[in-house]
Structure formats: C-alpha cells, structure tokens
Amino acid sequence: SDPERFADAGRALPVSQDPSMPSRIILCAMGTGRGLESLRALLADQSAGLFGASILLGAAITDPVPRMPRPLVAARIQLSSAVRVWRLPHIKGLELDGFPRRYPAAYSRLVKDVDAMPRATAHVG
C-alpha cells in the first residue's frame, strides 16, 4: 500500500485528541471466523462510543483464500448491514512474496471511495 496515504496503527485506535478534527478510521479484518468476530466486537465498541473522536468510514475485509466458504460470505454480508464493507480479494502468494506488482481492482476502488467521501462522512463516535 501507499505509506503516505495510510497509517498502520498496530493494535491501537488512532483517536484524535482534538474533537474538532476526528480521526477517519477504516477497520481492517481478515475474512476468517475469528477476524469477523473481532470486527463485530470492534463495531460494538464503536457503537458504544468507545472510539472517542473518530469517524468510522467502513471496514475492509480481506479474503484469506480464493474461494470463501458460504458461512463466511454470509457473515460478511451480515456485517455490511451495519457498516460499509469493502471486500478485498485474496492475492495468491502475498504471504510469501510481499507486496504484489499489481493489486486487484477492489483495492483501487477502496481508495477512490475513501477519497470521494466528504470529511464529515460516516458514523461519528
């Protein structure tokens, strides 16, 4: 990805100290059972106001395998009723080769969607 556009907050939320300038957050999860459950828990925390001064833009869910099992597809679809979801397809060899030369179109679509969002978009926590 592009380090000038995105920041990895590790396992912490990048919450702004200035409520007038809330952080814009995209939650990222692997599309496994554990990943989707963790995402569901984070969405509950955000809904409860535990994210502080932040704007949740949506969630990016990466497919861990080329063909997703139906229960995981159903869980992803269910999550999309609560928050905007971007499905990022599996990239063969990524775990071994590092960053690919070319990403699938879904990745550039996510960037375009976020760039097109007004600064005061989405759910403010």
Cα 71 to Cα 93: distance, rounded to the nearest angstrom: 24
pLDDT digits over 35-87, tens only?
999 999 999 998 998 888 888 999 999 999 999 999 999 999 999 888 999 99
61 within a domain of the structure (yes/no): yes
pLDDT digits over 84-95, tens only?
999 999 888 776
Residue 86, H or E segment: strand 85-88
Give 60's strand partners.
28, 86
- The whole domain housing 109 covers 23-124
Give yes or no for residue 7 having a pLDDT over 70.
Answer: no
Q: How many CB atoms lie within 10 A of CB 58?
A: 20
To the nearest whole percent, how much of the chain has pLDDT over 90? 43
- As for how many domains the chain has, the answer is 1
14 within a domain of the structure (yes/no): no
Both tokens of 88, joined, read 């990022």
Higher pLDDT, 34 or 121: 34
pLDDT digits over 71-81, tens only?
999 999 999 88
42 within a domain of the structure (yes/no): yes
